[in-house]
């Protein structure tokens, strides 16, 4: 029987500790990316509400619901990041910032009509779905409770995506 020396035990524990730390950092990165995409979603829908016309009260109510939803999701993710000993993200993604500048330019050219606003919102919803897909398909092993949280949020966001797409398609068909 082979006995491990104290040095061997120490090296093993250090290796395990480094692996756990690297995995924890990856999990924190994934969660912070999802926090940022929810922040993007809040900023995007707030911007969309500002661009809507008075007669688009139905969309304003829907978009306000999505803002509330993303704030809740961001808070749930923030709680998990804190629980894991990380620093929760409090900003948006760089791509989200670039996209909003592009939205401003596009709106100045094409106007703030209902279809344009819905097109822009669907693009944002696509980005959110992609972020959640990336999180769920990463090679990082997530605790079952974290995976469940992400799956639940993704499913709810998919419902929002499909509703925005349906409204956009319906509006396009009526033109």
First-to-last alpha carbon distance for the chain, in angstroms, is: 80
In whole angstroms, give the CA distance from residue 40 to residue 48: 12
Domain count within the chain: 1
15 in any annotated domain: no
**pLDDT (mean) for 27-33:** 94
What pTM was computed for the model?
0.80
Q: Is residue 146 part of a domain?
A: yes
Residue of 31, 41, 87, 83 lying closest to 64 (CA atoms)? 41
Q: Is residue 57 in a domain?
A: yes
What mean pLDDT comes out for the span 100-118? 64
For residue 12, is it within any domain?
no
Tell me which of 21 and 112 has the higher pLDDT.
112
Whole-number Å distance between alpha carbons of 86 and 121: 31
In a domain, 86, yes or no: yes
- Classify residue 5: in a domain, yes or no: no
Q: What are the pLDDT digits (tens) for 52-68?
A: 888 899 999 999 999 99
Q: For residues 84 and 145, is the Cβ–Cβ distance under 8 A? A: no
The reply to whether 141 falls in a domain is yes
Q: Which of 78, 58, 66 is nearest to 42 (CA)?
A: 66
At 17, the pLDDT band (50, 70, 90 cuts) reads very low
Q: Does residue 103 lie in a domain region?
A: yes
Which residues, at least 6 apart from 21, have a Cβ–Cβ distance to it below 8 Å?
A: none
Query: Rounded to an integer, what distance in angstroms lies between the CA atom of residue 114 and that of residue 108?
Result: 14
Range of the domain at 64: 24-173
Per-residue pLDDT at 140 exceeds 70? yes
- CATH number at 61 reads 1.20.1260.10
């Amino acid at each position: 029987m082979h006995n491990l020396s104290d040095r061997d035990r120490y090296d093993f524990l250090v290796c395990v500790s480094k692996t756990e730390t690297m995995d924890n950092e990856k999990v924190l990165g994934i969660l912070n990316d999802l926090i940022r995409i929810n922040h993007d979603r809040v900023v995007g829908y707030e911007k969309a509400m500002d661009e809507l016309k008075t007669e688009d009260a139905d969309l304003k109510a829907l978009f306000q619901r999505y803002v509330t939803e993303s704030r809740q999701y961001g808070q749930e993710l923030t709680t998990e990041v804190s629980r894991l000993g990380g620093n929760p993200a409090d900003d948006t993604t760089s791509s989200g910032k670039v996209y909003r500048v592009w939205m401003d330019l596009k709106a100045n050219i094409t106007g703030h009509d209902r279809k344009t606003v819905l097109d822009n919102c669907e693009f944002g919803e696509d980005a959110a779905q992609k972020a959640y897909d990336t999180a769920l398909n990463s090679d990082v092993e997530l605790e079952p409770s974290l995976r469940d949280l992400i799956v639940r949020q993704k499913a709810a966001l998919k419902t929002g995506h499909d509703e925005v797409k349906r409204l956009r398609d319906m509006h396009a068909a009526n033109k």
